[in-house]
């Protein structure tokens, strides 16, 4: 289907509506970006009401009976919503969004907003004081509200399914459980083997590299990757993120640490991976129902690919390390390429998920998934979380957090009602390796290209097989089309085995 397709009157009506809503939601994204990057403290309160006003307008414009009727008519007109035309898929995606937004009664929406606002404040206090009891009643409330939400989508195979589907369309709890059950013992075993070996030194990067030069190397690397500066920019924000105001403006942020010279670089590569996905969506999907991404896991597969598979590879550093040494001679002159490579790939079980390395990261996610499923099923009580958390940390990672701030209270997600989100991080890791393997199979020269600082083949392949489709296909469809397989753990385990087997002489 091309841009020139003549649409029926009804289809055109839907496309016009979505184009307008897309404009409004991108305006809202500008407000959000400004809030995280630029806003003076005095502006926060009114920015809150401004964003809420836009959110209300978006909701009201979309959830009318008229729109419902339009979607129903179009479903009939299109016939098969799984047909591989843009029209069928657009109606499918919009129908799902409409059902999700209209199924939830307004009182439940309002109660959830209120509960998460209060819970977020309580979480901040609980984390600061490292006292789970402050957060406990609020989390109980949130779990109860999430159960009520999930119940609206009966019948389901599992009560966690509707929550998961909000972040990973089409993915079922049973699928995720199967993947993680296969993954867990293999990752734990690998970690135990690594723990018996002498870890490489990484003290040379745990220093205050000059920020100005960190900026230079970050920009240089992602320019080489193919990040399009004509349709993007890089700013500083406390928590790195990517946001888009349409296909022509996909922005990223990073932050520079005083005690780690490469953390900003890796987070810049990570966000650039997200952003290049956004920049790679087909032009015809501008202001279109399919302009979004397939899912959070597919998004994360792109960020992890550039940050880890490429950004922590030997080939990558064989090209970029001389530049690093030139920029930071006081720290790196005496460090060989091999020692640098080993240092940035040091495996270290840590309490904090966001600081976890490739070998331990997924175990942090599994712990959270098991807890979330247990909470929703009612087999785990909120009150028992600190103990369950610590026991499983010991079991999986061999360490016990010294306090709840570094344990069960570390992540913001639950305080915002985001239950079902965590698994997408680990699924993204798995997907990244599957996509990588397939790309490599078709382009065996890619490692040599990376060693020459060339990334066109990689980005071109991802554009062709993933980016261009926007949200036309569900995540598992994308994976099957691109790699011939659904998301599966084996390639990731093999990747870790190969990489760490060499670094740690396993």
Catalytic residue set = 271
| Tokens matching residue 31 | 């407000």
Secondary structure tally for the chain: helices H, strands E: 21, 3
Q: Which stretch binds Mg ion (CB under 5 A): 118-126, 187-195, 295-303, 405-413?
A: 295-303
Cβ–Cβ contacts within 10 Å for residue 365, how many? Answer: 21
The residues, any chain, with a CB within 8 Å of residue 276's CB and separated by 6 or more, are 225, 226, 227, 228, 302, 306, 459, 462, 467
Q: Which is nearer to Mg ion, 14 or 281 (CB)?
A: 281
Instruction: Pick between residue 306 and residue 341 the one whose CB is nearest to Mg ion.
Output: 306
Least Å distance, CB 475 to Mg ion, is 15
Give min distance, CB of 427 to Mg ion, in A.
Answer: 12
| Residue 183: burial class (beta carbons within 10 Å; 0-12, 13-18, 19+) | buried
Cβ 379 to Mg ion shortest distance, Å: 30
Taking CB atoms, the residue at the shortest distance from Mg ion is 303
Residue 283, both tokens:
């032009």
Nearer to Mg ion, 57 or 412 (CB): 412
- 295 belongs to the binding site for Mg ion (CB under 5 A): no
CB of 296 to Mg ion, least distance (A): 8
Helices (H), ranges, 234-304: 263-279, 296-304
Asked if residue 291 binds Mg ion (CB under 5 A), the reply is: no
Q: Is 302 in the site for Mg ion (CB under 5 A)?
A: no
Identity of the residue, 187 or 303, whose beta carbon is nearer to Mg ion in the bound complex:
303
x/- string (CB under 5 A) for Mg ion, residues 3-42? ----------------------------------------
> 155 preceded by cis ω (within 30°)?
yes
One residue of 291, 295, 301, 303 binding Mg ion per CB under 5 A: 303
The site map against Mg ion for 376-415 (x = CB under 5 A) is ----------------------------------------
Nearer to Mg ion, 149 or 167 (CB): 167
Q: Which tokens in the block code for residue 112?
A: 């959830």
Stretch that binds Mg ion, among 140-148, 298-306, 367-375, 450-458 (CB under 5 A): 298-306
Stretch of 161-169, 303-311, 338-346, 431-439 lying at the interface with Mg ion (CB under 5 A):
303-311
Q: Is 253 helix (H, G, I), strand (E, B) or coil?
A: strand
483 binds Mg ion (CB under 5 A): no
DSSP 8-40: PHHHHHHHHHHHHHHHHHHHHHHHHHHHHHT--
Nearest-angstrom CA–CA distance, 436 and 309: 8
- The residue with tokens 């995606």 is 93
Q: State the minimum distance, in angstroms, from the CB of residue 303 to Mg ion.
A: 4
Contact residues for 457 (Cβ-Cβ < 8 A; gap 6+): 439, 443, 445, 446, 449
Cα 98–102–108 angle (5° rounding)? 140
Which C-beta is closer to Mg ion: that of 78 or that of 252? 252
Mark the segment that binds Mg ion (CB under 5 A) among 114-122, 196-204, 296-304, 401-409.
296-304
Asked if 267 interacts with Mg ion (CB under 5 A), we say no
Q: How far is the CB of 434 from Mg ion (least distance, A)?
A: 18
Give the residue from 463, 464, 489, 485 showing the smallest Cα distance to 475.
Answer: 485
CB closer to Mg ion, 28 vs 308: 308
- Per the DSSP assignment, residues forming a β-bridge with 224 are none
CB under 5 A: which stretch of 227-235, 302-310, 353-361, 479-487 binds Mg ion?
Answer: 302-310
Q: Which burial class, exposed, middle or buried, applies to 444 when counting CB atoms under 10 A from its CB (0-12, 13-18, 19+)? A: exposed
Give me the least distance between CB of 38 and Mg ion, in Å please.
22
Please report how close the Cβ of residue 26 comes to Mg ion at its closest, in angstroms. Answer: 20
Q: Please tell me whether residue 242 binds Mg ion under the rule CB under 5 A.
A: no
Q: How many residues does the chain have?
A: 506
Q: Taking the mean position of all CA atoms in its chain, how far away is CA 206?
A: 26
Residue closer to Mg ion (CB basis): 295 or 303: 303
| Residues in Cβ contact with 393 at an 8 Å cutoff, skipping those fewer than 6 apart | 351, 367, 399, 400, 401, 407
Site residues, Mg ion (CB under 5 A)? 303
């Amino acid at each position: 289907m091309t841009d020139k397709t003549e649409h029926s009157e009804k289809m055109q009506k839907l496309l016009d509506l979505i184009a307008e809503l897309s404009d409004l939601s991108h305006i809202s994204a500008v407000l959000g970006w400004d809030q995280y990057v630029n806003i003076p403290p005095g502006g926060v309160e009114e920015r809150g009401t401004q964003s809420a006003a836009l959110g209300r307008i978006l909701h009201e414009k979309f959830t009318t009976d008229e729109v419902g009727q339009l979607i129903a008519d179009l479903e009939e007109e299109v016939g098969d919503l799984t047909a591989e035309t843009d029209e069928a898929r657009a109606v499918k995606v919009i129908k799902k969004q409409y059902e999700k937004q209209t199924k939830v009664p307004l009182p439940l929406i309002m109660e959830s907003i209120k509960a998460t606002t209060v819970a977020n404040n309580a979480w901040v206090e609980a984390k600061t004081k490292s006292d789970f009891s402050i957060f406990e009643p609020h989390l109980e409330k949130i779990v109860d509200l999430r159960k009520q939400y999930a119940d609206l989508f009966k019948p389901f195979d599992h009560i966690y399914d509707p929550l998961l589907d909000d972040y990973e369309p089409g993915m079922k709890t049973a699928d995720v459980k199967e993947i993680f059950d296969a993954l867990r013992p293999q990752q734990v075993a690998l970690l135990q083997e690594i723990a018996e070996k002498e870890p490489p030194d990484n003290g040379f990067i745990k220093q205050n590299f000059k920020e100005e030069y960190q900026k230079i190397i970050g920009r240089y690397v992602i320019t080489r990757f193919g990040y399009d500066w004509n349709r993007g920019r890089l700013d500083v924000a406390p928590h790195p993120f990517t946001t888009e105001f349409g296909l022509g403006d996909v922005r990223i942020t990073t932050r520079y640490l005083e005690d780690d010279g490469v953390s900003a670089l890796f987070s810049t590569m990570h966000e650039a991976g997200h952003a290049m996905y956004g920049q790679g969506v087909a032009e015809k999907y501008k202001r279109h129902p399919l302009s979004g991404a397939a899912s959070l896991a597919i998004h994360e597969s792109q960020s992890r690919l550039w940050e880890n598979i490429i950004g922590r590879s030997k080939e990558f550093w064989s090209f970029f390390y001389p530049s690093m040494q030139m920029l930071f001679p006081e720290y790196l002159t005496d460090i060989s390429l091999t020692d640098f490579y080993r240092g940035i790939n040091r495996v270290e079980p840590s309490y904090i998920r966001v600081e976890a390395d490739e070998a331990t990261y997924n175990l942090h996610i599994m712990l959270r998934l098991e807890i979330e499923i247990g909470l929703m099923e009612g087999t785990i009580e909120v009150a028992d979380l600190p103990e369950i958390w610590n026991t499983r940390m010991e079991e999986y990672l061999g360490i016990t957090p010294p306090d709840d701030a570094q344990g069960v209270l570390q992540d913001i997600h639950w305080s915002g009602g985001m239950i079902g989100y965590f698994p997408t991080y680990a699924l993204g890791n798995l997907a990244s390796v599957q996509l990588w393997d397939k790309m490599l199979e078709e382009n065996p020269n890619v490692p040599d290209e990376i060693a020459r600082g060339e990334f066109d083949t990689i980005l071109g392949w991802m554009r062709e097989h993933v980016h261009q489709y926007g949200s036309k296909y569900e995540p598992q469809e994308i994976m099957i089309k691109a790699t011939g397989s659904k998301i599966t753990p084996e390639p990731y385990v093999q990747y870790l085995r190969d990489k760490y087997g060499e670094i740690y002489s396993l």
